[in-house]
């Protein structure tokens, strides 16, 4: 049976020797009790030596994991002092004190970091115990104000585990119903399956009182019962009384005491040690199957992760070459999937990235940048007026000059260079992000990752320069020849007849189709009026509406888009909001929404705002152009007066209007062609070329860039992680082998039947359940009256026969009779049925 405890110790050795912290709860016994309840003295009695710190107040300030191992020699070992054997138990005590002070300080501080101590001795049975700090109420020294709560949390950290037996230590000279140890044990073990009661200081009870009813498990019963012990007094400790003499005195006390002599064989420290050994062995036997399952699951998880590490040798060039080829193939696949899109589980669900973001740049951002660069209407008409008059010169023009149309159109086409170049920059920037994301799997080899990113980025930059040249060449094509015979061009006749109002609004007849839906916040409404909260907005080609939520059942307002413009709103210095804001307003100054001149809308990010602006462009709502202010010099005054004079010439006004309509018609053709050709050029010259380069030429460039052995050197973090994974794998494998050697033919004693243990919450309210107070004579327990509601089991008859044996303990009284009893026999014990 002791081999099972040895197996658990081997498991702990398998993990600790490799420096592995496995998430496995190995069976052990936690000693719980109040301050100065005698927990440390019980442990010292097990070992037979003085080795634990002593003093007043809280002495145990860190958990002590004590492994008792039956061996030939007598010595101790600490986990933090590997390889060092302590043959003097005074040195062990000093090392515990020093290690405690090292972490908690020397002024009564506490810590939940355990101290691991292993004691080898021929006088001990194999046990694994945890000495926990005693419960205290008032903070002293460096202890925090919530010292009681912190100690409770530390205790719960150990006793909450199902594999942990609880040794609840309570002094006999205190009220058992107020025991802190039993209260904590009841919270985590309400059925009492894991709780063993220990009654200390039996020799300190007042004369005439005893704890017989408690030790016989009649008063405040526990499923596993109670065991009484007598520890050394403080005088004995200070007088350096030998523990073996103390154990002999304990034995003599129980044999000579009239209340305990009939159960002396079931009391005392040696019996407690044997019971704990038996209970821990049974507990280990019960938990080993679950422990094996956990290890097997962890083994399967680790096998997948360490498959590539099993036969890895850092100096093997063939393995490095194979790893590099596999990573380049993975990079090719990831880059292709990121650009073209995929339905894999690795798709980004938080934001647009890769091909989706490039698609938005092509179809939303490019359009927005082109519309944003358009000239202000008033400025454009003034330029047309000057062009017409300068072309006529001194003559009076009778016809509209087509040269004015060509001059204005060329100026407008030349403005397209800036947005198309910006589109290329945005695409290249996103490609760089994609490359960094795809090479993240090479982080194990930082030099390979750095070289791969450098080669790909250099190639993309070269293609960027070529792409910009080709796109600017497209703009030069448009500047080279004005195709006024284009099928979409309105011509001079239609330009003169076109309605002026339709031209100025700039709206497109799309029908009332839905363009976009999404959440935005109305910033310029007060909180009481519904502002500062998100609404569900629906943008169509004619209006924008907002609802309470996305169900679109409760409409708040519908705003027509006729004549509206967009403008950015700068956040003030004192503004606490981090949202990005833009506004809808009317250029003629009318109210847009109720009493507000503008409707201020905000989104979380700049990208969301730009996307909404692009959607408004599709609905014909254009951004506001910042008018440049003249300096007031003579030239500006002459231009202003000339413009005013031109407005009085009706013939010039008609010519200006005609040119304006022609320019608008031709620029629609040019911008449509540009929006179509620029994405195609970028796809061909940059993106597709980059994919071909990665698939066909990247590997050759890597081989030509330098020494592959240096390039394939592991990072320190990856090497550490690999070693850690291999250690965990070996520890799991060794642990499974150790458990596999266990013979499951060992015989374990059955768990005692359950008892009625609901006395803890109500024990203080029932005076019959409290043990006798010190100094008062012991009263016999009341006899059963045949009612099933009594808390106490019936007393044995007055024949002087000893009490029945406590379940799960050898020796003592006669065993219970099986089956039905004869008529004159004792009635069966009154025990509640199992739930």
The predicted-structure confidence for 148-175, as pLDDT tens digits, reads as follows 888 888 888 888 888 788 888 988 888 8
Backbone angles phi, psi at 64, to 5 degrees: -115, 110
CB 508 within 8 A of CB 620: yes
pLDDT at 469: 92
Q: Using the 3D structure, point to which of 154, 187, 214 is the last residue of a domain.
A: 154
Residues 568 and 476 in one domain: no
Q: How far apart are CA 795 and CA 682, in angstroms?
A: 96
**Would 641 be classed as within a structural domain?**
no
Largest CA distance in the chain: 145
Residues 473 and 527 in one domain: no
Residues 613 and 706 in one domain: no
Nearest CA to 168 out of 201, 193, 141, 199 is that of 199
Task: Please tell me what DSSP assigns to residue 766.
Answer: -
Residues 691 and 574 in one domain: no
Q: Is 79 exposed, middle or buried (0-12, 13-18, 19+ CB in 10 A)?
A: middle
pLDDT at 780: 47
Residues 456 and 543 in one domain: no
Can you spell out the DSSP letters for 87-115? --HHHHHHHHHHHHHHHH-SSS------E
> How far from each other are the two terminal CA atoms of the chain, in whole angstroms?
31
Structure tokens at 493: 């006749």
Q: How far apart are CA 85 and CA 83, in angstroms?
A: 7
**Would 823 be classed as within a structural domain?**
no
Q: Using the 3D structure, point to which of 154, 174, 194 is the last residue of a domain.
A: 154
List, in sequence order, every residue forming a beta bridge with 64; answer none if it has no partner: 115, 131
Q: How far apart are CA 439 and CA 460, in angstroms?
A: 15
**Would 405 be classed as within a structural domain?**
yes
Backbone angles phi, psi at 718, to 5 degrees: -65, -40
Task: Please tell me what DSSP assigns to residue 363.
Answer: I
Residues 535 and 563 in one domain: yes
Locus of tokens 């061909």? 684
Residues 477 and 526 in one domain: no
Backbone angles phi, psi at 165, to 5 degrees: -80, 145
Backbone angles phi, psi at 309, to 5 degrees: -95, -15
Cut 0.95: pTM above it: no
What is the strand order of the sheet 64-70 is part of? 85-86, 75-78, 115-121, 64-70, 127-131, 28-33, 164-171, 195-200, 226-228
**Would 682 be classed as within a structural domain?**
yes
Domain assignment of residue 370, given as a range: 333-343+351-493+648-712
Q: How far apart are CA 510 and CA 713, in angstroms?
A: 61
Structure tokens at 391: 């072309």
Q: How far apart are CA 694 and CA 452, in angstroms?
A: 10
Structure tokens at 94: 């000093």
Residues 592 and 671 in one domain: no
pLDDT at 468: 92
Angle value at C-alpha 603, between 597 and 606, nearest 5 degrees: 110
Backbone angles phi, psi at 383, to 5 degrees: -65, -40
Q: Using the 3D structure, point to which of 116, 138, 154 is the last residue of a domain.
A: 154
Q: How far apart are CA 73 and CA 484, in angstroms?
A: 108
Q: C-alpha dihedral over 405, 408, 410, 414, to 10 degrees?
A: -160
Residues 362 and 470 in one domain: yes
User: What DSSP element (H or E) covers 783?
Assistant: none
Q: How far apart are CA 181 and CA 186, in angstroms?
A: 9
Nearest CA to 398 out of 576, 651, 149, 616 is that of 651
CA atoms within 13 A on the CB side of 589: 0
Residues 339 and 422 in one domain: yes
pLDDT at 377: 61
CA atoms within 13 A on the CB side of 416: 26
549: helix, strand or coil: coil
Residues 669 and 570 in one domain: no
Segments of the chain with pLDDT less than 70: 1-6, 9-26, 54-58, 106-108, 141-144, 307-317, 342-351, 374-379, 392, 394-402, 491-512, 526-532, 571-577, 625-655, 708-709, 715, 740-751, 756-835
Can you spell out the DSSP letters for 673-689? HHHHHHHHHHIIIIIHH
544: helix, strand or coil: strand
pLDDT at 48: 75
Residues 488 and 548 in one domain: no
Provide the CATH number for the domain around residue 555.
Answer: 2.30.29.30
**Would 589 be classed as within a structural domain?**
yes
34: helix, strand or coil: strand
CB 775 within 8 A of CB 209: yes
pLDDT at 506: 44
**Would 147 be classed as within a structural domain?**
yes
Backbone angles phi, psi at 623, to 5 degrees: -75, 155
Provide the CATH number for the domain around residue 77.
Answer: 3.40.50.300
Locus of tokens 């703009």? 475
Long-range contacts (CB closer than 8 Å, 24 or more residues apart) made by 625-632: 625/374, 625/375, 625/376, 625/379, 627/376, 627/379
Number of domains in the chain: 3
Provide the CATH number for the domain around residue 446.
Answer: 1.20.120.1240
**Would 368 be classed as within a structural domain?**
yes
Chain center to CA of 253: 58
Nearest CA to 753 out of 830, 667, 643 is that of 830
CA atoms within 13 A on the CB side of 597: 4
**Would 609 be classed as within a structural domain?**
yes
């Amino acid at each position: 049976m002791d081999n099972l405890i040895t197996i658990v110790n081997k498991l702990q050795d398998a993990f600790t020797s490799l420096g592995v912290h496995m998430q496995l709860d190995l069976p052990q016994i936690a000693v719980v009790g109040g301050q100065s309840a005698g927990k440390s003295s019980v442990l010292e009695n097990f070992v037979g030596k003085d080795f634990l710190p002593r003093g007043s107040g809280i002495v145990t300030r860190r958990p002590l994991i004590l492994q008792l191992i039956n061996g030939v020699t007598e010595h101790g070992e600490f986990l933090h002092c590997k390889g060092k054997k302590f043959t003097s138990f005074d040195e062990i005590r000093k090392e515990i004190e020093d290690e405690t002070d090292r972490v908690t300080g020397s002024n009564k501080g506490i810590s939940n970091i355990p101290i691991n101590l292993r004691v080898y001795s021929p006088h001990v049975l194999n046990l694994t115990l945890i000495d926990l700090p005693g419960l205290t109420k008032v903070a002293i020294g460096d202890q925090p104000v919530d010292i009681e709560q912190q100690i409770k949390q530390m205790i719960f950290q150990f006793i909450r585990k199902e594999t942990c037996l609880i040794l609840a230590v309570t002094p006999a000279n205190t009220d058992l119903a107020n025991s802190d140890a039993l209260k904590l044990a009841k919270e985590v073990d309400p059925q009492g399956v894991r709780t063993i009661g220990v009654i200390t200081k039996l020799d300190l009870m007042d004369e005439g009182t005893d704890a017989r009813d408690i030790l016989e498990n009649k008063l405040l019963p526990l499923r596993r019962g109670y065991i009484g012990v007598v520890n050394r007094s403080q005088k004995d400790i200070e007088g350096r009384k030998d523990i073996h003499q103390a154990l002999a005195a304990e034995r003599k006390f129980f044999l000579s005491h009239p209340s305990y002599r009939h159960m002396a064989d079931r009391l005392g420290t040696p019996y407690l040690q044997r019971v704990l050994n038996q209970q821990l062995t049974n507990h280990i036997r019960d938990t080993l199957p679950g422990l094996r399952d956990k290890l097997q699951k962890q083994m399967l998880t680790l096998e997948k992760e360490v498959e590539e590490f099993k036969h890895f040798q850092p100096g093997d060039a063939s393995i490095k070459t194979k790893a590099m080829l596999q990573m380049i193939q993975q990079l090719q696949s990831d880059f292709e999937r990121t650009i073209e899109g995929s339905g894999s589980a690795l798709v980004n669900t938080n934001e647009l990235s890769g091909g989706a973001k490039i698609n938005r740049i092509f179809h939303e951002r490019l359009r927005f940048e082109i519309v944003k660069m358009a000239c202000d209407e008033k400025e454009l008409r003034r330029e047309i007026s000057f062009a017409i008059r300068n072309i006529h010169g001194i003559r009076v023009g009778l016809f509209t000059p087509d040269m004015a149309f060509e001059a204005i159109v060329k100026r407008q086409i030349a403005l397209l260079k800036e947005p198309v170049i910006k589109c290329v920059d945005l695409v290249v920037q996103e490609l760089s992000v994609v490359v960094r994301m795809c090479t993240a799997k090479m982080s194990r080899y930082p030099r390979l990752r750095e070289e791969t990113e450098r080669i790909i980025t250099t190639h993309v930059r070269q293609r960027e320069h070529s792409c910009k040249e080709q796109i600017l060449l497209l703009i030069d094509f448009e500047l080279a020849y004005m195709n006024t015979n284009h099928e979409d061009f309105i011509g001079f006749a239609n330009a003169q007849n076109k309605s002026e109002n339709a031209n100025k609004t700039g709206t497109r007849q799309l029908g009332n189709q839905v363009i976009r839906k999404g959440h935005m916040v109305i910033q310029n409404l007060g909180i009481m009026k519904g502002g500062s909260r998100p609404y569900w907005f629906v943008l169509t080609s004619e209006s924008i509406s907002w609802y309470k939520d996305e169900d679109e059942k409760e409409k708040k307002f519908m705003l027509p888009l006729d004549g509206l413009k967009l403008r950015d709103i700068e956040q003030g210095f004192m503004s606490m909001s981090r949202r990005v804001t833009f506004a809808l307003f009317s250029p003629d100054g009318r109210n847009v929404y109720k009493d507000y001149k503008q409707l201020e809308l905000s989104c979380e990010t700049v990208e969301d705002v730009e996307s909404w602006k692009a959607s408004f462009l599709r609905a014909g709502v254009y951004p506001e152009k910042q008018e440049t202010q003249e300096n007031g010099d003579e030239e500006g005054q002459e231009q202003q007066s000339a413009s005013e004079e031109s407005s009085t010439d009706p013939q010039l006004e008609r010519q200006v209007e005609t040119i304006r309509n022609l320019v608008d018609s031709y620029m629609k053709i040019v911008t449509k062609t540009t929006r179509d050709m620029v994405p195609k050029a970028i796809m061909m010259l940059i993106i597709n070329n980059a994919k071909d380069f990665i698939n066909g030429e990247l590997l050759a460039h890597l081989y030509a860039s330098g020494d592959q052995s240096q390039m394939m050197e592991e990072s320190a973090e990856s090497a550490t992680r690999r070693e850690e994974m291999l250690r965990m794998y070996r520890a799991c494998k060794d642990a499974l082998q150790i458990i596999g050697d266990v013979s499951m033919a060992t015989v374990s004693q059955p768990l005692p039947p359950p008892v009625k243990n609901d006395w803890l919450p109500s024990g203080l309210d029932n005076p019959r359940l409290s043990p006798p107070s010190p100094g008062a004579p012991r009263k016999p327990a009341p006899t059963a009256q045949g009612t099933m509601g009594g808390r106490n089991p019936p007393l044995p008859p007055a024949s002087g026969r000893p009490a029945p044996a406590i379940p799960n303990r050898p020796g003592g009284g006669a065993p219970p009779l099986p089956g039905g009893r004869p008529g004159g026999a004792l009635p069966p014990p009154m025990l509640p049925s199992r739930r």
